[in-house]
């Protein structure tokens, strides 16, 4: 682990397309690094015939002209100049806005590569912003989350992270840990004098306070994960209960094959839909029953695995069947096995059931869960189901208003490790163990917190994070 490692390539001129590839009105090709102003001078000519050089241009200035390669003009472009250190990467940057045809963009990028740039790696612009100290690692990840956000709440949470709210909170905790570590290190320097620069009672209170703050962040991960990744929602039940029909109805299009033959779904199908700012990750699973057929048996095993990972279960029961109470008992048993997951019982095919109202009342009594009456093939009851699903995660769309919220599994694991180290430190303090043992645990906690913001980071971790970015970001 090192402090902000600079790679050998840092500063080398890089270029990439910064907008989605395809036909559009406009596109942007950007470059950053050492010598990009000279490279821009080689390919760009300002309109009007006036003498112009990017090396003399002011930062945050725009210039209209033509960009050419070895065969002639490529396109009329607008060049935006960003001078170091007042740019995203804190290096000299130039962005060319051109017409959005893929051939035009490809020629423009190739002209920059031929003039001295190399093609940027995934996330390399953001990586340089981190390495230069413009943003920390948590903020860099937030940029990726903002780009990939699929709901308003996930977007707002990413914006909050990018603004540095969580970073500042972690920095305050890290400062507290540094202070306690420094005092313990002083004790080690004066070990022969047997002095305490911070009383053990005061140290216990401070470490306990910091551990409490970290644990609160750890506990926020479940809600933060639901907000950004979506509510893992499993549609479960016996074969031919209407699970695939329900999936199609919720999505609003035909995604799963629907058949009257039981056991049609052999493997799970995953899709997402958004309702009232909340994203639900739907999983249509294989029907739950005993089976000796190898493929179906594997599908059922995967169904149970998905159920164990679910935040919300939609358990479908054929309310027209004579075995509907037996299915109610199966739903209740499944709910008891997975108490951490919410459950909604979907009483399907009520249009075919005799005494549907009485059967719904029996299902509510037997399962002790919300029961929604539906005829999924007709769409009856769909709006009520969506409203009930939204009610099960009520307030999720407002979580982004909180000042700090953990949304990343990487951050969650680092904080949990930090909390464990502080717990070890508290035990050592209570047992009046030597200062060096306590200091070791506090330094471990310090490193774990530092991993989140990038104060302590490895090259492997940086590669893992930035490889997930697009090339132009």
| Binding region for (6S)-5-formyl-5,6,7,8-tetrahydrofolate | 30, 95, 134, 473
Spatial separation of the C-alpha atoms in residues 160 and 399, rounded to whole Å: 11
- Residues making up the annotated binding site are 30, 95, 134, 240-245, 259-265, 284-287, 473
- Residues making up the annotated binding site for GTP are 240-245, 259-265, 284-287
CB-side neighbour CA atoms (13 Å) of 121: 14
Q: How far is CA 86 from the centre of its chain?
A: 28
Cβ atoms 121, 25 nearer than 8 A? no
Helix (H, G, I), strand (E, B) or coil at 46: strand
Q: How far is CA 85 from the centre of its chain?
A: 29
- Residues making up the annotated binding site for Mg(2+) are 244, 265
Neighbouring C-beta atoms of residue 386, cutoff 10 Å: 17
Q: Which two tokens stand for residue 3?
A: 């402090």
For residue 311, CA distances in Å to 109, 282, 304 come to 45, 11, 13
Spatial separation of the C-alpha atoms in residues 280 and 300, rounded to whole Å: 22
Q: Which two tokens stand for residue 421?
A: 């180290």
Residue 71 DSSP code = T
Q: Which two tokens stand for residue 165?
A: 């709210």
Neighbouring C-beta atoms of residue 359, cutoff 10 Å: 22
Q: Which of 404, 348, 379 is nearest to 161 (CA)?
A: 404
Q: Angle at the Cα of 240 (from 294 to 292), degrees rounded to 5?
A: 20
Q: Angle at the Cα of 458 (from 31 to 440), degrees rounded to 5?
A: 145
- Dihedral, CA atoms, 92, 94, 95, 101, nearest 10 degrees? -130
Place of tokens 């942007």: 28
């Amino acid at each position: 682990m090192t402090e902000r490692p600079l790679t050998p390539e840092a500063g080398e001129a890089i270029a990439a397309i910064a907008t989605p590839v395809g036909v559009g009105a406009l596109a942007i090709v950007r470059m950053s690094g050492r010598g990009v102003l000279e490279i821009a001078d080689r390919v760009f000519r300002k309109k009007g015939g006036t003498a112009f050089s990017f090396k003399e241009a002011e930062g945050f200035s725009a210039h209209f002209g033509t960009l050419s390669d070895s065969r002639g003009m490529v396109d009329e472009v607008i060049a935006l100049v960003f001078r170091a250190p007042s740019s995203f990467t804190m290096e000299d940057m130039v962005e060319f806005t051109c017409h959005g045809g893929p051939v035009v963009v490809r020629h423009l990028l190739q002209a920059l590569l031929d003039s001295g740039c190399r093609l940027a790696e995934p996330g390399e612009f953001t990586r340089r912003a981190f390495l230069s100290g413009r943003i920390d690692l948590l903020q860099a990840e937030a940029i990726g989350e903002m780009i990939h956000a699929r709901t308003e709440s996930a977007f707002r949470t990413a914006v909050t992270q990018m603004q540095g709210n969580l970073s500042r909170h972690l920095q305050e905790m890290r400062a507290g840990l540094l202070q306690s570590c420094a005092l313990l290190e002083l004790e080690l320097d004066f070990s022969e004098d047997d002095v305490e620069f911070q009383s053990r009672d005061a140290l216990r209170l401070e470490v306990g306070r910091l551990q409490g703050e970290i644990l609160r962040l750890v506990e926020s991960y479940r809600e933060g994960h639901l907000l950004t990744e979506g509510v893992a929602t499993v549609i479960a039940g016996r074969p031919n209960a209407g699970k695939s029909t329900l999936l199609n109805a919720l999505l609003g299009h035909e995604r799963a094959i629907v058949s009257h033959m039981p056991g049609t779904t052999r493997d799970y199908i995953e899709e997402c839909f958004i309702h009232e700012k909340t994203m639900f990750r739907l999983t249509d699973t294989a029907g739950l029953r005993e089976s000796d057929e190898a493929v179906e048996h594997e599908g059922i095993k995967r169904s149970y695995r998905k159920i164990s990972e679910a935040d919300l279960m939609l358990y479908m029961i054929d309310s027209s069947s004579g075995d509907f109470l037996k299915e109610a008992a199966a739903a209740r048993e499944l709910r008891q096995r997975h108490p951490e997951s919410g459950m909604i019982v979907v009483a399907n095919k009520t249009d075919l059931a005799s005494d549907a109202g009485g059967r719904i009342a029996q299902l509510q009594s037997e399962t002790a869960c919300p029961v929604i009456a539906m005829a999924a093939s007709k769409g009856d009851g769909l709006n009520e189901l969506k409203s009930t699903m939204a009610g099960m995660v009520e307030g999720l769309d407002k979580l982004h208003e909180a000042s700090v919220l953990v949304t990343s599994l990487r951050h969650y694991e680092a904080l949990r490790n930090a909390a464990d180290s502080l717990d070890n430190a508290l035990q050592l303090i209570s047992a009046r163990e030597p200062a060096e043992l306590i200091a070791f645990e506090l330094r471990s906690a310090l490193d774990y917190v530092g991993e989140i913001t990038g104060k302590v980071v490895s090259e492997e971790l940086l590669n893992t994070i930035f490889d997930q970015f697009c090339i132009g970001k």
